[in-house]
Structure 1
């Protein structure tokens, strides 16, 4: 019975996250609440559904595919510190190729920052978050959860590539990408990014202490 409840929450999660891909539904919501209202409301809804889904993964009786080990838990903690710093730096860089990043800055392909390493820093961070959480969570419900979320993040890279290429135009997209890849590996990274990374580390410490409350598992 709890598997059915978990499946229902998973279905609701997928349904709510499909809203941006349904032009008619999105248009009606934007018309009713405005772009800012829709963005804020959708962000709150998607975050709430993710937290509910994470808690729901603990409902079914566990079916272990691999055991939880101390090394896996420690590796996840270390990896998540890096992921949080990665997210913080990525949010400070303009990115014409994907979602996330600063909207107050214009993109300079000669100084692309993290975009030099990947067109999709935020999605790569999400995929890394999911992959790291698979290490200590070998029960079937959590494998389905984090496996699906990681897969969605990787699939999203291809879908957003198609969308951005269409929006920018194939020639502009290809030329911008060529110039971005031709930049030195760390071009565009500044001292301000060190500050952002430090803030990411502070956010990681807060999440570490709050993990018990939103995920149901104490880490400290």
Structure 2
């Protein structure tokens, strides 16, 4: 469990610098340069991600059950996951979806985390998915108070929404039928 917590602290911590200390982040970029900051940011992110993956995998070997979700919540989780991949893609494909949702990436993270909290009830699940949910909520609130940096992405085109939905749903289908089991070891379909 220690590796999971350490990984979450590193991964979500570095992703929270703009939330908690935007002036410090800007000072570091000014001092070190954009490329050096992004390099350091990436290294800490990767280290945190690796630790949380290893820690979550280890915690699943000896689960501490906090609650047992009813079976129907797995079906609800599958439904909540349906827009996640289209929203992730829409975050980088400007169009009507991005304009309507404003922050599709954060909405996708919130849906993903909520779906998994509904379907899983171990301490590791609550730490992992609850941590991401709390981070996404905090980030969305902070975005109302700080200037937004532009995200890299495709140019705005009318087809972007269609691309985001079609490609996102294809990824969802592949993930639900095969990739989730291969990567995570859990088959989401009954």
TM-score (norm 1): 0.63
Aligned equivalents of 1:52 and 1:213: distance in 2? 19
Instruction: Indicate the residue corresponding to 1:49 in structure 2.
Output: 48
The alignment partner of 1:92 has SS state of coil
Instruction: Indicate the residue corresponding to 1:153 in structure 2.
Output: 136
TM-score (norm 2): 0.71
On the 8 A contact 2:6/2:52 being kept in 1, the answer is: no
Structure 2 residue ranges without an equivalent (≥5): 150-155
Moved more, 84-93 or 144-153: 84-93
On the 8 A contact 2:11/2:47 being kept in 1, the answer is: no
Structure 1 residue ranges without an equivalent (≥5): 95-112, 168-187
Instruction: Indicate the residue corresponding to 1:59 in structure 2.
Output: 58
Q: 194, 203, 206: which one pairs with 2:174?
A: 206
Q: Alignment length, in residue pairs? A: 175
The alignment partner of 2:94 has SS state of coil
Measured at CA, do residues 44 and 51 of structure 1 come closer, stay the same or move farther in structure 2, by a change above 3 Å?
A: same
Measured at CA, do residues 118 and 129 of structure 1 come closer, stay the same or move farther in structure 2, by a change above 3 Å?
A: same
Instruction: Indicate the residue corresponding to 1:71 in structure 2.
Output: 72
Measured at CA, do residues 89 and 11 of structure 1 come closer, stay the same or move farther in structure 2, by a change above 3 Å?
A: closer
Please tell me whether Structure 1 or Structure 2 has the larger radius of gyration of its CA atoms: 1
Aligned equivalents of 2:175 and 2:72: distance in 1? 20
Aligned equivalents of 1:48 and 1:199: distance in 2? 29
How many angstroms does 1:76 deviate by? Answer: 1.7
How many angstroms does 1:159 deviate by? Answer: 1.2
Measured at CA, do residues 90 and 133 of structure 1 come closer, stay the same or move farther in structure 2, by a change above 3 Å?
A: same
On the 8 A contact 1:85/1:201 being kept in 2, the answer is: yes
Instruction: Indicate the residue corresponding to 1:139 in structure 2.
Output: 122
Measured at CA, do residues 122 and 7 of structure 1 come closer, stay the same or move farther in structure 2, by a change above 3 Å?
A: closer
